[in-house]
């Protein structure tokens, strides 16, 4: 009886430790640009970077009343507290996804490539938009057996079916939605710096039209991916360097995360069963 009880307690402890390790981040001062204290969880964001006050995610993703907001109406999102931090993604049942560049505030603007990569082989990539401008779009199609194509062109094949990560290749390096593929970020990110943070639409904001992109409602099947295009030591941690909206996709947890979480739930479940047996005797 007590063995089951302690096993259940270990499950609770394991689950809480997992949550702490996954979501608690002690944020530093931005290494480059203005030496500003960052905040947010799990990704640390500076209120603005080398581009100056008013250019941070707090402003460009803020209410439409902000002069630099990408929204024509709506309350915006809080970039510090409304983060969706998942490295892998999947296309919805539509079997297709449109990517749209919304904003580039960086010296690398117009000289980068955005695309997807194979979770089991990061060198196996498919470029979606290369050297793009604000408003540029690309159509990603998925096929059976791990096939992918951009703008209905030649197919490439990944080792996984409808399961991929995003990457951004710039003159300063290639960065991935899976932090462990990126260089470490000081003591804050010893296992790899997160170069991308995602935000989920909820239908409450309307995007500004731009360069042929008509704008419209930022809906629940759309995410904005905000990228930092410099390695940690040179980064101002503003994550406004490349903003792209991807639609008809949803985040997929890492298998390791699911395994750890499942272990915790299994142990918790065992604790609950043992308690029922105890009181039914």
- Which string of DSSP letters, residue by residue, matches the chain? -HHHHHHHHHHHHHHHHHHHHHH-----B-SSSS--B-B-SSS-B-S--TT-TT-SHHHHTS-TTSTT-SEEES----TTTS-B--SEEEE-TTSEEEEEEEE--STTTTS-EEEEEETTEEEEEEEEEES--TT-EEEEEEETTTEEEETT-S-EE-SSSS-EEEEEEETTEEEESSGGGSPPBTTTBTT----EEEEE--SS-EEPPBTTB--EE--TTEEEEEE--S-GGG------SEEEEEESEEEE--HHHHHHHHHHHHHHHHHHHHHHHHHH-
Quick one: pLDDT band at residue 221, thresholds 50, 70, 90? Answer: very high
pLDDT at 257 over 60: no
Looking at residue 106, its pLDDT comes to: 81
Task: Please give the average per-residue pLDDT across 183-203, as a whole number.
Answer: 96
| Bigger pLDDT: 255 vs 258 | 255
Determine the pLDDT at residue 110.
80
Instruction: Output the pLDDT for position 41.
Output: 86
Is the confidence at residue 213, as pLDDT, over 50?
yes
Query: Which pLDDT belongs to residue 222?
Result: 97
How far is Cα 264 from Cα 267, in angstroms, rounded to an integer?
A: 5
Residue 214 has pLDDT above 80, yes or no: yes
> What pLDDT is attached to residue 268?
42
Q: Name which residue leads in pLDDT, 148 or 267.
A: 148
Residue 130 resides in a domain = yes
Q: What is the pLDDT of residue 254?
A: 66
- 19-41 average pLDDT score: 79
Rounded to whole angstroms, how far apart are CA atoms 276 and 89?
Answer: 39
Q: What is the pLDDT of residue 273?
A: 42
Instruction: State residue 9's pLDDT score.
Output: 38
- pLDDT at position 219 over 50: yes
| Domain assignment of residue 34, yes or no | no
Mean pLDDT over the full length of the chain? 85
19 Rama sector, left if φ>0, alpha if ψ -120 to 50, beta otherwise: alpha
Task: State the residue range of the domain holding 194.
Answer: 18-28+85-260
Answer whether residue 248 is part of any domain.
yes
Instruction: Give residues with Cβ within 8 angstroms of 279, minimum separation 6.
Output: none
More confident site: 165 or 23: 165
In a domain, 55, yes or no: no
Asked whether residue 59 is assigned to any structural domain, the reply reads: no
pLDDT given at position 212: 81
- Poorest-confidence range of 89-98, 117-126, 196-205? 89-98
pLDDT above 50 (res 16): no
Q: Is residue 53 part of a domain?
A: no
Q: pLDDT of 44-90, one tens digit each?
A: 999 999 999 999 999 999 999 999 999 999 999 999 999 998 999 99
Cα–Cα distances in Å, from 78 out to 47, 63, 83, 129, 218? Answer: 11, 9, 8, 27, 15
Domain count, the chain: 1
* pLDDT value at 131 more than 80: yes
On whether residue 94 sits in a domain, the answer given is: yes
In a domain, 226, yes or no: yes
Interatomic CA distance for residues 166 and 145, integer angstroms? 19
């Amino acid at each position: 009886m007590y063995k089951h009880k302690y096993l259940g307690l270990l499950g609770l402890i394991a689950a809480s430790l997992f949550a702490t390790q996954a979501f608690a981040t002690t944020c530093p001062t931005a290494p480059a640009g203005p030496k500003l204290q960052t905040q947010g969880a799990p990704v640390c964001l500076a209120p603005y970077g080398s581009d100056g006050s008013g250019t941070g995610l707090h402003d460009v993703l803020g209410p439409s009343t902000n002069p630099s907001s990408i929204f024509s109406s709506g309350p915006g999102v809080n970039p510090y507290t409304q983060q969706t931090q998942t490295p892998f993604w999947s296309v919805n049942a539509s079997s297709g996804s449109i990517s749209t560049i919304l904003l580039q505030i960086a010296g690398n603007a117009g000289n980068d490539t955005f695309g997807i990569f194979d979770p089991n082989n990061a060198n196996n990539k498919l470029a979606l938009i290369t050297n793009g401008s604000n408003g540029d779009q690309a159509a990603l199609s998925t096929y059976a057996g791990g096939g992918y194509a951009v703008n209905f062109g030649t197919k490439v094949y990944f080792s996984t079916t409808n399961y991929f990560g995003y990457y951004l290749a710039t003159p300063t390096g290639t960065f991935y939605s899976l932090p462990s593929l990126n260089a470490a970020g000081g003591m804050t990110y010893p296992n790899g710096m997160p170069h991308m943070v995602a935000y989920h639409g909820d239908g409450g904001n309307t995007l500004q039209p731009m360069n042929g992109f008509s704008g419209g409602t930022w809906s629940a099947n759309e995410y904005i991916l905000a990228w930092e295009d410099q390695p940690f030591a040179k980064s101002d941690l503003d994550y406004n360097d490349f903003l792209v909206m991807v639609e008809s996709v949803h985040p997929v947890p890492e298998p390791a995360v699911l395994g750890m979480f499942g272990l915790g739930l299994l142990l918790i479940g065992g604790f609950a069963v043992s308690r029922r047996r105890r009181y039914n005797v």
